[in-house]
Structure 1
Amino acid sequence: MSYEVAVRAEATLGEGPTWDPATGRLLWIDILGSRIHSYDPSSGRRTSRTTHQHVGAVKPRAQGGLVLNLRDGVGLLDPDDSFRWLHHEPVPDRRGNDAAVAPDGSLWAGTMRYDEAPGGGTLTRITGAGEVVPVLDDVAVSNGTGWSPDGRLLYYIDSPTRRVDVLDHHEDGTVSHRRPLAGIEAGAGFPDGLTVDADGCVWVALWDGGAVRRYTPAGELDREIVLPTPRVTACAFGGADLTDLYITTARVGLAAPHPVAGSLLVVPGAGQGLPQPAFAG
């Protein structure tokens, strides 16, 4: 499989690609650049806007607008571009990181300390009504989060562990029985963002690994897309038929960044993605 450059950019820390079917756009962010980007593959149109603090994730809302996982909590952008906090919880030296929307429309928002200290991060479930439910409270870098096609399994990454974990996900939103699905060997980078396809396979971006890997539900590696820049951060399926794999990358910390570092990449026809729910709030 070969990649194309969907949007040539120099994002410091490009992250969080998300397909918005209501608008036909691919949303993505630059965390440290405090920017939200959008890309319309049918027209090539690009937009960008600045947030008032570092933004770890952006997702569409069912009633229009966006939900943002920010440095100091989770906020809402309404369709008229007005902003309000849904969950405001500033913690010194901590910021929001990756986030995902569960099948029931709740937002699972991760955090991490800027120094990536063990135990400094969390994973929290936030309902559309604003109820805040802690899920995990002893992680370092809360990253990739996604669900199996039937919603019964949660896949989760705490990057320094070098593992993709799987948990049982119950109808009431609780999880149990955390166990490893796959480990990333030394020298292959660290697991970062993930997405789940229609076959139930888990696609994992490898930070400092320059690749995206696909693991079966049994944890077996069956595919790898090698990329020319090492800091690959996240991936998601998009396009009208959800068959194109969009991949975000970063430039931060690279002494001599590759020309595509910080760009949004795409692998056309990589697989079949799953429709992603919008946040219920």
Structure 2
Amino acid sequence: MRPWEVALAAGARLGEGPTWDASARRLIWVDILASRVHTFDPATGRRTVLATEQHVGAAKPRAGGGLVVNLRDGVACYDADGALSWLHREVVPGRRGNDAGVAPDGSLWAGTMRYDEAPGGGTLIRVAPDGRATPQLTGVTVSNGIGWSPDGGRMYYIDSPTRRVDVFDVGPDGEVAGRRPFVTVEEGAGFPDGLTVDAAGCVWVALWDGAALRRYAPDGRLDRVVDLPVRRPTACAFGGRGLTDLYVTSASEGVAPGGAAGALLVLPAAGEGLPQPAFAG
């Protein structure tokens, strides 16, 4: 019996960044190249779509309602009524926002990449709730998956062309240090893209061009491989009642027409996820 189901036959060009919004009991995800933020309530089937004025790499819930979004030209907030305001605007021609994550302290860690994927053209910044932005990494190429261990003491991070998931130590102030490889994905298995960390501290990684998810134990041991019906899965997140269902976004861009490419998939009862903090700004 296959472990996955098609939750939505969305046909997304570049579906990305699923996040469970616990307060609204819905999944938030984006279609980057279509400039759309989607929400999906699996209990009722209700869906919403928000058109953004720029390509949107990630969207996360805010503690006070609304969304924080990683756009082409920086990080902005949507209020509950749809009004947009910029938190951190940094216009760099040829560059856009990509994946992002909310740290346990409520700050947003937002990555960028060049459209042409030029080596070293991307960054990772930390945006505090008051909008103060501090660079964390420069010289990255495709800033992608980011997540924290259950105790908050580790941060996992992917710069996709390196084929690595790296790990950092997190200090009491939320700053990171001690970057080192956690796992390396071998040639031919695809590129690591988005990730999520489960309640057992295991790291789930979506493999772009690898048609699979991998689950790595906290010591880096490969624990599980799940084959998927899409060549380009992009990211994953636990959601639903009890945070036991694993949702997976995917891309149809660059894939032959037909099949499930671009769908939102779900792996029911795949494990137990961690509650994701909302952006505190």
The interval holding the TM-score normalised by the smaller chain is over 0.9
Query: Once superposed, which parts of structure 1, at least 4 consecutive aligned residues long, lie more than 3 Å away?
Result: none
Q: Deviations over 1:193-244 (max 9, x none)?
A: 0000000000000000000100011111010110121101000000020000
- How many matched pairs? 280
**Aligned partner of 1:220: which letter?**
R
Question: In structure 1, what is the equivalent of residue 125 of structure 2?
Answer: 124
**Aligned partner of 2:88: which letter?**
H
Equivalent residue runs for 1:81-92 within 5 Å = 81-92=82-93
Establish whether residue 69 from structure 1 lines up as the match of residue 40 from structure 2: no
For residues 78 and 47 of structure 1, the distance between their equivalents in structure 2, rounded to whole angstroms, comes to: 15
Question: In structure 1, what is the equivalent of residue 259 of structure 2?
Answer: 259
Task: Assess if the C-alpha contact under 8 Å between 1:121 and 1:142 holds in 2.
Answer: yes
Question: In structure 1, what is the equivalent of residue 13 of structure 2?
Answer: 12
Question: In structure 2, what is the equivalent of residue 155 of structure 1?
Answer: 156
Task: Assess if the C-alpha contact under 8 Å between 1:229 and 1:257 holds in 2.
Answer: no
Measured on the aligned residues, the alpha-carbon RMSD in Å equals 0.7
How many angstroms does 1:131 deviate by?
1.1
**Aligned partner of 1:264: which letter?**
L
How many angstroms does 1:258 deviate by?
4.0
SS of equivalent residue, structure 1 residue 241: helix
Identity of aligned residues (%): 67
Q: Deviations over 1:101-150 (max 9, x none)?
A: 00000000000000111110000000101111111011000000000000
Establish whether residue 205 from structure 1 lines up as the match of residue 200 from structure 2: no
Establish whether residue 79 from structure 1 lines up as the match of residue 74 from structure 2: no
Question: In structure 2, what is the equivalent of residue 182 of structure 1?
Answer: 183
For residues 61 and 115 of structure 1, the distance between their equivalents in structure 2, rounded to whole angstroms, comes to: 31
For residues 258 and 23 of structure 2, the distance between their equivalents in structure 1, rounded to whole angstroms, comes to: 34
Task: Assess if the C-alpha contact under 8 Å between 1:97 and 1:112 holds in 2.
Answer: yes
For residues 166 and 64 of structure 1, the distance between their equivalents in structure 2, rounded to whole angstroms, comes to: 31
Equivalent residue runs for 1:232-243 within 5 Å = 232-243=233-244
Establish whether residue 96 from structure 1 lines up as the match of residue 97 from structure 2: yes
Task: Assess if the C-alpha contact under 8 Å between 1:204 and 1:235 holds in 2.
Answer: yes
SS of equivalent residue, structure 1 residue 224: strand
Q: Deviations over 1:61-80 (max 9, x none)?
A: 00000000000000000011
How many angstroms does 1:27 deviate by?
0.6
Q: Which sections of structure 1, spanning at least 5 residues, go unmatched?
A: none
Task: Assess if the C-alpha contact under 8 Å between 1:143 and 1:193 holds in 2.
Answer: yes
Q: Sort the Cα spacing of 1:112 and 1:192 in 2 relative to 1 into closer, same or farther, 3 A.
A: same
For residues 174 and 259 of structure 1, the distance between their equivalents in structure 2, rounded to whole angstroms, comes to: 43
**Aligned partner of 1:190: which letter?**
F
For residues 241 and 129 of structure 2, the distance between their equivalents in structure 1, rounded to whole angstroms, comes to: 26
**Aligned partner of 2:269: which letter?**
G
Establish whether residue 42 from structure 1 lines up as the match of residue 63 from structure 2: no
Establish whether residue 272 from structure 1 lines up as the match of residue 272 from structure 2: yes
